[in-house]
Amino acid sequence: MKYKYFYKSNSGFKSDFLSGLNDITQAFINKSTWVILGISELQQRYRRSAIGPFWVTLSMGVQTLVTGVLLAYLFNQDVNRFLPFISISLILWTLFSSALNEGAVCFTGMSGIILQVNRPLFSYLLLIIWRNILVFLHTICIFLIAAFYFKIYPTSSYLLIPLGFSLFIVNISWMALLCGIISSRFRDMPPIIQNILNVLVWLTPIYYSINQVGNTTKLIINLNPITYIFEVARGPFLNSPPEFHVWLIAVLVALFGWILTLTIFAIFRNRIPYWL
Amino acid sequence: MSTKIELNNVCVDIPIYDASTRSLKDKLFLKPVKNIINLNKNKVGGLLSNTINNTITIRALDGINLEYSDGDRVALLGHNGSGKTTLLRVIAGIYPPTSGSIKTFGRVMPLFNMMEGLSLDSKGVEAIKLRGSLLGLSETEIKEKISDITEFCELGDYINLPIRTYSTGMMVRLMFAITTCITSDILIMDEFIGAGDAAFFEKAQVRLKKFVDQSKILIVATHSVETAREWCNKAVLLDHGKIKISGSTDLVINNFNLQ
């Protein structure tokens, strides 16, 4: 029979882990839930406005222009190179921070639906990730415009974009899921995550490049795993493919992160509906 | 393998958190505050109890054993808070039981709140897609059903307008048409679904009957004895999360009326 559902309580970690994995595969197989819901939520946000989702593009464009020009002046940098840099940095950081902020409420925000229908819980994380990728696709044109305007044309390093971007998304996903699980139990978690992100943005080379800072700061930045996660996605866009050790660390963070998150997901997945 | 539901000694404890147990900061930096709650026996609701780590839990279901197969139409009866909705959620696979086990064979379709997940700004067609996807239909299944739904609910061009422009009756029609568009093996309802205004009523009744008849198992939680008599051949009476009596509808209802 195609559809069946077994659940036995307290049947041990191995069985919990396997059913956690099954939840994830089911979420990918039944993709209509999050694909349709994601598109519809995005449409909802910009319905009744003339330029629709391109509002995000517009506001991101203005933000990039102002920050880029101001920081280039403050840092004594060449605007021609700094503006494309800041635009891709801000676009990726927005993707990162909103995926984490929204990931924190991926279960609590959907409690109405979760308690009404029997979709896999992982669908609600995929919904967040998918929606933020859609927003990213709307904003990435800012970078392309900036790059073309300042005559930074694509080279072979663009071939690394799919790989770097996927690795970035894989890393964001485990962090968002972890935030979501903890936040559904502890309701003061979302503001804490926001505070952490506010600090993290300065400890990661977003508004400045790593070459601009002194040795002590460099050490802190190099100890911050987010730096590497970021660099694999950003480097290819800026025609400076990341070095091997950057890729390696990003992959290791993804691996470690997913093992940790899957374990926590497996243990607490059965409790999540009761916490809502 | 035929359609089947099997519940074995299912217990569900639902934790109740107050603001301080909900806070990570308090958990890390404050001593736990003793919860003061009078654990007397209430007429409604499940049994309240204090667990070891000082969170209060409700025993919403206690030692439920059930087995249903093809052709069973089951009414869940009982007062408010007797565990009807919790039991529906366990069968639907939404609440994994705290202890005990559950097996279901067949596609389960929980129909609790027909409006959940909808925004008033979505168009009729989008509402169909959204509800369809939440009910677990694939995109192809939804596409196949769109014309059937629009035809049945007779909304005409309104189907391309936002549902905020609909009257209550039109809304009910649309929701009813979406809900009944696809049959599944196991139907789960919290109160029997309604059919709308008079003109639509007879047509809807026919469709509803077909819809329910095509599903192999029906589980419906209801307060209405008439509904139970009309649609169900079996019934379960729940009280404080325990099965008080289960059997044929007549047997249970006679008991129900005695209370």
Mean pLDDT to the nearest integer, A90-100: 94
Q: Are B12 and A272 in contact (CB under 8 A)?
A: no
Q: Which of A5, A8, A130 to mutate to test the interface with B (most CBs of B within 10 A)?
A: A5
DSSP A76: T
- Global pTM reads 0.89
Q: At CA A15, angle to CA A20 and CA B54, rounded to 5?
A: 80
Name the residue in chain B with its Cα closest to that of A269: B96
pLDDT of residue A198: 93
- Condensed to tens digits (0 to 9), the pLDDT of residues A168-190 reads 999 999 999 999 999 998 888 99
Contacts of B5 in chain A (CB under 8 A): none
Give the count of alpha carbons within 13 A of A24, CB side only. Answer: 15
Q: Nearest chain A Cα to B137, which residue? A: A32
> Percent of chain A at pLDDT above 90?
45
Q: What is the 3-state secondary structure (H, E, C) of chain B?
A: CCCEEEEEEEEEEEEECCCCCCCHHHHHHCCCCCCCCCCCCCCCCCEEEECCCCCEEEEEEEEEEEEEECCCEEEEECCCCCCHHHHHHHHHCCCCCCEEEEEEECCEEEECCCCCCCCCCCEHHHHHHHHHHHCCCCHHHHHHHHHHHHHHHCCHHHHHCEHHHCCHHHHHHHHHHHHCCCCCCEEEEECCCCCCCHHHHHHHHHHHHHHHHHCCEEEEECCCHHHHHHHCCEEEEEECCEEEEEEEHHHHHHHHHHC
Prediction ipTM score: 0.83
* Cβ–Cβ below 8 Å for B136 and A182: no
Which of A2, A35, A36, A108 to mutate: most B Cβ within 10 Å? A36
- pLDDT 10s per residue in chain B (259 long)? 688 899 988 999 888 877 667 777 777 766 555 544 554 455 556 666 655 455 678 888 888 999 998 889 999 988 888 888 899 999 998 999 988 999 999 888 888 877 777 778 888 888 888 888 888 888 888 888 888 888 888 888 888 888 888 888 888 888 888 888 877 889 898 887 766 666 777 888 888 888 888 889 999 998 888 888 888 889 999 888 888 888 888 888 887 765 5
| pLDDT, tens digit (0-9, with 9 covering 90-100), for B41-71 | 555 566 666 554 556 788 888 889 999 988 8
- Chain A residue numbers with beta carbons less than 8 Å from the beta carbon of B137 are 32
Residue A74 Cα distances to A50, A60, B251, angstroms: 36, 21, 84
Please give, rounded to a whole number of angstroms, the shortest distance from the CA of A240 to a CA of chain B.
41
Q: In order of start, what are the domains of chain B with their CATH numbers?
A: 4-106+221-258 (3.40.50.300), 111-215 (3.40.50.300)
Q: Which of residues 69-108 of B touch A (CB under 8 A)?
A: 89, 92-108
Q: From the CB of residue A55, how many other CB atoms can be counted at a distance below 10 Å? A: 14
Tens digits of residue pLDDT in A197-242: 999 999 888 888 888 888 888 888 888 899 999 999 999 998 888 9
**SS3 state at A123:** helix
Contact flag B142-A118 (C-beta cutoff 8 Å): no
Whether B96 and B86 have beta carbons less than 8 Å apart is answered as no
Chain A positions with Cβ closer than 8 Å to B: 1-10, 30, 32-33, 35-37, 40, 43-44, 47-48, 112-119, 182, 185-189, 192, 270, 273-275
For strand B99-105 and strand B4-16, is the pairing parallel, antiparallel, or unpaired?
antiparallel
Nearest to A7 among B97, B112, B135 (CB): B97
- Inspect the interface and report whether the beta carbons of B98 and A9 lie closer than 8 Å: yes
Q: Which residue of A1, A186, A270 is in closest CB contact with B96? A: A270
The residue assigned the tokens 């970078």 is A143
Q: How far apart are CA B185 and CA B4, in angstroms?
A: 9
Mark yes or no for CB contact A30/B136 under 8 Å.
Answer: yes
Nearest CA in chain A to B24: A186
